[in-house]
Amino acid sequence: MKKIDVLIVGAGAAGLMCAIEAGKCGRNVLLLDHAQEIGAKILISGGGRCNFTNINAASENYVSENPHFCKSALSQFTAQDFIALVEKHRISYHEKKLGQLFCDISAKQIVSMLVNECCEAGVTFQLGTFVKSLKKDHAGFVMETSQGIYAVASVVIATGGLSIPKIGATDFGYRMAKQFGLRVTSLSPALDGFRVTSEAWKPFSALAGISLDVSLSCDHASFRENILFTHVGLSGPAALQGSLYWNSGDAVTMDLLPEIDAKKWLYEKREARPNAEIKSLLREFFPQHFCEIFCEQYFPKMTILASASNRALDDCAQQLKAWKIFPTSTVGYSKAEVTRGGVDTNELSSKTMESKKVPGLSFIGEVVDVTGWLGGYNFQWAWSSGFAAGQNV
């Protein structure tokens, strides 16, 4: 039986950062993963360029049953701290929009940077390794794996969530939490598109590929970004952000003219162009095909503006400013970027990520009930929670 100070399960973003910090602290660290590739999710993120952080990352950008939990870790290792690491390794990067930072060249640079830092810290990697069992004993833990048995002082679970199973996502972290008596909150796919299967949506399926700039709201959260029509519903950044707050049965509301007073605009147009059709006027803002379908669905009797009553114009303005759809579901874990929910934060120390019930057992990254917005926030949570745990294991 081999003795290890710190055994980290999961060689993704959080696990790599934790290993680096634990190694720097002089700990004997083993980082294992059932996959054969390190940092699979990092490599596919950001279209292969890795949206590695967001300069605006703060607690209000995260969803959790305890919205204050993430503050400690985020303050211990900030976006600027990770940027400093990127700059140390001379990786060029750029801000795309809204504080989102991407590599100029490739996500492979981020993985190489983290692996190099691990190697400098004396971390041992063991890939293609499956955990068979984990048990607590008087001295710490005994972990049986497909590559041997280890006596371990501290165990860190960094196995992520259920999202994107094709790159190796499993429920391992949640099973380990439950095994040791820790509560796991309700889980659902997030940062994911919506499916809409009602008859009313069928005409809109013909708009697949069309994108609109909207303000999308769900459960009191609003995002001003693009939506993308798909054959089965909605995708695009605004829809993905909204999915983080969506629960079954909720409406998704879209302001299609976020910078326009639609009612005032319609009344002014009726005065200036009384013989114009509403669908023709809307082409000022939207693609022709969208105008035709939208008007056919919601204003079929409205032809020229001169014949439209005030009530009809008011209803038209309301529909443009608060178009409601009722998704049947999100697309699911196969496409979702993250898993909302996870190990209950009340079970963990916000400073160290260690279990309050089981000393020596920590959970970091996506497996914890802290889920960030689209745009680099989840990677920052991985770096921050990994750092916090690595400093204390």
User: pTM (2 decimals)?
Assistant: 0.95
**Which residue in the block uniquely carries the two structure tokens 């939207």?**
286
383 domain-assigned: yes
**Computed from CA positions of residues 166, 42, 348, 336, in that sequence, does the dihedral angle turn out positive or negative?**
negative
CATH of the domain at 212: 2.40.30.10
Residue 263 belongs to domain spanning: 194-330
335 domain-assigned: no
Look at residues 289, 306, 330 and tell me which one is the last residue of a structural domain: 330
Dmax of the chain from CA atoms? 86
288 domain-assigned: yes
Q: Are residues 208 and 244 in the same domain?
A: yes
Q: Are residues 24 and 160 in the same domain?
A: yes
Helix, strand or coil for residue 296? helix
Q: Are residues 125 and 56 in the same domain?
A: yes
DSSP states of 305-323 as a string? GGG--HHHHHHHHHHHH-E
Distance in angstroms (rounded) separating the CA atoms of residues 124 and 137: 24
DSSP states of 190-238 as a string? ES--EE--SGGGGGGGGGTT-EEEEEEEETTEEEEEEEEE-SSEEESHH
Q: Are residues 244 and 168 in the same domain?
A: no
Q: What is the pLDDT along the chain (393 residues), one digit of tens a residue?
A: 899 999 999 999 999 999 999 999 999 999 999 999 999 999 999 999 999 999 999 999 999 999 999 999 999 999 999 999 999 999 999 999 999 999 999 999 999 999 999 999 999 999 999 999 999 998 899 999 999 999 999 999 999 999 999 999 999 999 999 999 999 999 999 999 999 988 889 999 999 999 999 999 999 999 999 999 999 999 999 999 999 999 999 999 999 999 999 999 999 999 999 999 999 999 999 999 999 999 999 988 888 899 999 999 999 999 999 999 999 999 999 999 999 999 999 999 999 999 999 999 999 999 999 999 999 999 999 999 999 999 999
Residue 300's alpha-carbon distances to 132, 210, 306, in angstroms, are 63, 22, 15
Q: Are residues 371 and 266 in the same domain?
A: no
Q: Are residues 215 and 99 in the same domain?
A: no
How many domains in the chain?
A: 2
Q: Are residues 267 and 227 in the same domain?
A: yes
Q: Are residues 162 and 222 in the same domain?
A: no
